[in-house]
Structure 1
Amino acid sequence: MGTWNTGPFDNDDAAELLDDIREGHIYFDELLPDVGHRYIAADQGAMIVAMAHLAAGSVPEGIDDSQLESLRTPQNRERLRQCLEAVISDGTVSELAGQWAESGQDKLLEWKAQSHVQLI
């Protein structure tokens, strides 16, 4: 995964997700994993972080809020909240958290702070 910073859209997987949304080729239900105890791969974790921020209202240029309606349903917001919690927990559950942990404690904490968002 190409990463250039700790923000929710600062990686190749999130950039591809945003491009797909702009082009209208996205089905959020297919991208959201089922909630449960399993290992989350880094690419899926990056998309979960990006989708959580989109659902919470952080919308990059070129994306219209209407394109995010299905992501913002109460059911999907709850799925995202639980998935995001798993992604930023630790490397035993999330490959992405494990990769950030390898970057050092300061970078890990910065990434977690940038990735966390309230999904009420």
Structure 2
Amino acid sequence: MGAWGSGPFENDGAGDLVASIGHGDFTFASVEWAFEDDYLEVDGGQIAVALLELVLIVRADRKRDPLVEELDLDDFADALTGERLAWLIDMVERTIASSDSELFELWDEQGPEELAAWRIPVVDGLEDLRVLTV
């Protein structure tokens, strides 16, 4: 799975995303490849969860995870549009859906406690994002 914890930035997909933002070459188009198939592979799920957390940091003043404490999010924040936020809601919904998400399946295989430790904060963050887009 390429993860060392259940947090939004504790995996390879999020690490690549954070590096891209840090280098100044992130665009939403640069991650679209991860969401093209009907079945959401692990990279797409990890990227969706990390994007969700980053949006909540810049739009809802969420406390920064130490892994992104020094990350400059100004350009990322400028790229957020209503259309992109709606797209992100859809991608996070796919990530937490049991039938369409490899990431969900991998956490489910770890057992109910591990699944809950990963999934509950994502569901809560998704609800926070929905409130922001109303």
Q: One fold, TM greater than 0.5?
A: yes
TM-score by length of 2: 0.78
Alpha-carbon shift at residue 72 of structure 1 (Å): 2.3
The question of whether the paired residues in 2 share the 8 Å contact of 1:6 and 1:114 is answered with no
Q: Report the 3-state secondary structure (helix = DSSP H, G, I; strand = E; otherwise coil) of the residue aligned with 2:7.
A: coil
Instruction: Please give the residue correspondences for 1:14-29 in structure 2 after superposition, counting only pairs within 5 Å.
Output: 14-29=14-29
Report how many residues are paired: 119
Q: Measured at CA, do residues 108 and 93 of structure 1 come closer, stay the same or move farther in structure 2, by a change above 3 Å? A: same
- Runs of 4+ aligned structure 1 residues displaced above 2 Å come to 32-37, 69-72
Query: Separation in 2 of the partners of 1:104 and 1:82?
Result: 25
Residue 46 of structure 2 corresponds to 46
Instruction: Please give the residue correspondences for 1:1-120 in structure 2 after superposition, counting only pairs within 5 Å.
Output: 1-32=1-32, 38-57=38-57, 58=62, 59=64, 60-90=68-98, 92-116=99-123, 117=125, 118-119=128-129, 120=133
Give the counterpart letter for 2:80 in structure 1: R
Structure 2: runs of 5 or more not aligned: none
Q: Measured at CA, do residues 73 and 7 of structure 1 come closer, stay the same or move farther in structure 2, by a change above 3 Å? A: same
Deviation by residue 1:43-64 (Cα, 9 ceiling, x = unmatched): 1110111011111215522222
Query: Separation in 2 of the partners of 1:16 and 1:37?
Result: 20
Greater helix share, structure number: 2
Query: Separation in 2 of the partners of 1:31 and 1:47?
Result: 8
Structure 1: runs of 5 or more not aligned: none
Percent identity for Structure 1 against Structure 2: 29
Between 1:99-108 and 1:21-30, the stretch displaced more is 21-30
RMSD of aligned residue pairs (Cα, Å): 2.2
The question of whether the paired residues in 1 share the 8 Å contact of 2:8 and 2:49 is answered with yes
Q: Measured at CA, do residues 30 and 68 of structure 1 come closer, stay the same or move farther in structure 2, by a change above 3 Å? A: same
Q: Measured at CA, do residues 6 and 71 of structure 1 come closer, stay the same or move farther in structure 2, by a change above 3 Å? A: farther
